[in-house]
Amino acid sequence: MLKSVREKKTATRIKMMKETTARLTTRCPIYDTVQQLLQPEGRTSWCGRRPDKGAGQAGGTVVPLDKAGAQARVYRSALELPVAWDKLAAREQVFLSRNYLLAWEEAPPVNVEMAYVVVEQGEEAVGVVALQLVDFNIGAALPRWKRLNWGLRVLVCGAAQVSGPYGFAFSEAVPAGEQAALLEAVLQALRAPLGASAVMVKDLNAAQFPAVTAGLQASGYVPFRFEPNMVVEVAPDWHSLDDYLEAMTSKYRVRARRAFRKGAHLGCRSLTVRDLQVHEARLYALYTAVADRSDFSLLRLQPGYFARLKAAFGPAFKVIGYFDGDTLVGFCTVLRSGTASEVHFLGFDESYNASAQLYLNMLLASIRTGIEDFGSRRIVLGRTATVIKSSVGARPHTEQVWLRHSNCLVQALLPGLVRFLRPPMEAEVGVRHPFGE
């Protein structure tokens, strides 16, 4: 009797192991948690990563939208995205590209999950929306309020890891007003099923997206302004760093060349995938040192992110490392995005900043990369450090974050709460004008 029971238990375990192995070998395991891989097949919730078996050849899970003839097809991995995603997201938006999303999913932050939506009208795909589910804790994100242990799950439309409007793209055949209505319908339909209590639409410029921002405001979203995104507009006659420097007034040109002299004793080179793997621990330590000094941090990268991005984009992603002998003391990253260059994450040893002007040297190296290597017309330096970024020619671009909470009381208090918790912004009166305008 006991032998029979043991044999049955053993057979059951073997069957479960075979089923799990089959799932692992037919899917890429980096996109699934163990819990999701082992959840029962009969589970009906579509919040897991497994695509709906009844969704047809297009895959994904179909969610009706509160708009005649429109539906959202939801995917939980970039591996599963249809060709329609590539067509609609192809207009110079690297952070919406499948290539980037796959690399991002290989080393996601611990508090972030992804969801992707293809918006369909009839049988035609007319738009794509990239969503992130962020488990946001005020104490962890805002060092000034580290004792405030209050968390919530936020549905973010866009990329929490970068500055800019990288949350959606629609067919040019869809009018702007219709785009705004479809985007709001998607966010409204998916917030509760994805378990979020608040929705954030990231980094929209009202002049660039007038219909979308007007639609969000009409739907009760509250706009907030944070640090501006700093952008260098590359002049048509700048073909090299020397052209860029010659366009500066004498004061700023001398300042840049002094920074070059101070940092000349450091070795500087572009890092390969192998370099990034060898120096992975040091890269992460330098990145973390900078992140720890930040007034606000919505998420933290995981080790290996830069190597994965380099493997995915090759020469279109530059990691510039600074060495004191054999020791890596700083790095900056630049990713080509169509006609723009996105200056991505960086890290450096603060003790080298004064003696070698390391941060200024990295800004100038990023600009050189954008002009000479990528031929970019815009170089996006991102938020924070407004004054020093303006000293290398970046101008502030105001972008608003739009928020809405599902709780009516919290929604009413939202403007005051954000003003109370928001980190102090750097005064724009200190903005520099190195080109004399």
The DSSP string of 134-178 is EEEEHHHH-GGGTT---EEEEEEES-TTSSS--SEEE-TTS-HHH
Give helix 98-106 / helix 305-313 axis angle, nearest 10°. 150
What CA–CA distance (Å, rounded) separates 4 from 26?
Answer: 33
CB-based contact 29:37 (threshold 8 Å): yes
What CA–CA distance (Å, rounded) separates 271 from 358?
Answer: 17
pLDDT at 80: 95
Within this chain, do residues 306 and 339 fall inside the same structural domain, yes or no?
yes
E strands of 171-226, at which residues?
Answer: 198-204, 222-225
Within this chain, do residues 216 and 147 fall inside the same structural domain, yes or no?
yes
In a domain, 107, yes or no: yes
In a domain, 268, yes or no: yes
Q: pTM of whole model > 0.85? A: no
In a domain, 365, yes or no: yes
What CA–CA distance (Å, rounded) separates 99 from 312?
Answer: 6
In a domain, 172, yes or no: yes
Within this chain, do residues 187 and 136 fall inside the same structural domain, yes or no?
yes
Write the CATH number for 289: 3.40.630.30
**Domain endpoint, select from 184, 202, 220:** 220
pLDDT at 36: 29
Write the CATH number for 199: 3.40.630
In a domain, 56, yes or no: no
In a domain, 407, yes or no: no
Q: What are phi and psi of 321, to 5 degrees?
A: -105, 145
Within this chain, do residues 150 and 289 fall inside the same structural domain, yes or no?
no
Give the position of tokens 């795909």.
125
pLDDT at 180: 94
Within this chain, do residues 276 and 155 fall inside the same structural domain, yes or no?
no
Within this chain, do residues 294 and 201 fall inside the same structural domain, yes or no?
no
* Burial degree of 371 (CB within 10 A; 0-12, 13-18, 19+): buried
Instruction: Give the number of domains in the chain.
Output: 2
Within this chain, do residues 138 and 74 fall inside the same structural domain, yes or no?
yes
Within this chain, do residues 210 and 68 fall inside the same structural domain, yes or no?
yes
The tokens for 194 are 């994805």
What CA–CA distance (Å, rounded) separates 282 from 259?
Answer: 24
**Domain endpoint, select from 220, 251, 273:** 220
For residue 358, the tally of other CB atoms under 10 A from its CB is: 24
pLDDT at 140: 58
342 Cβ contact partners less than 8 Å away, ≥ 6 residues apart: 94, 95, 162, 164, 334, 335, 336, 380, 382
What CA–CA distance (Å, rounded) separates 378 from 410?
Answer: 39
Compute the radius of gyration of the chain from its Cα atoms: 24
In a domain, 104, yes or no: yes
Within this chain, do residues 189 and 81 fall inside the same structural domain, yes or no?
yes
pLDDT at 414: 83
Within this chain, do residues 251 and 287 fall inside the same structural domain, yes or no?
yes
Within this chain, do residues 242 and 391 fall inside the same structural domain, yes or no?
yes
**Domain endpoint, select from 220, 248, 272:** 220
pLDDT at 123: 86
Q: Which domain holds residue 125?
A: 61-220
Within this chain, do residues 239 and 351 fall inside the same structural domain, yes or no?
yes
Indicate if the alpha-carbon torsion angle 187, 192, 195, 198 is positive or negative.
positive
pLDDT in tens, the chain (437 residues): 444 544 554 455 444 444 433 433 333 333 232 222 223 323 223 333 333 333 334 678 999 998 878 999 999 999 999 999 999 997 768 999 999 999 999 988 888 999 999 999 988 999 999 999 998 766 555 555 566 666 789 999 999 898 889 999 999 999 999 999 999 999 999 999 999 999 999 999 889 999 999 999 999 999 988 888 999 999 999 999 999 999 999 999 999 999 999 999 999 999 999 999 999 999 999 999 998 877 666 788 999 999 999 999 999 999 999 999 999 999 999 999 999 999 999 999 999 998 999 999 999 999 999 999 999 999 999 988 899 999 999 999 988 999 999 999 989 988 887 776 666 655 555 788 999 86
In a domain, 189, yes or no: yes
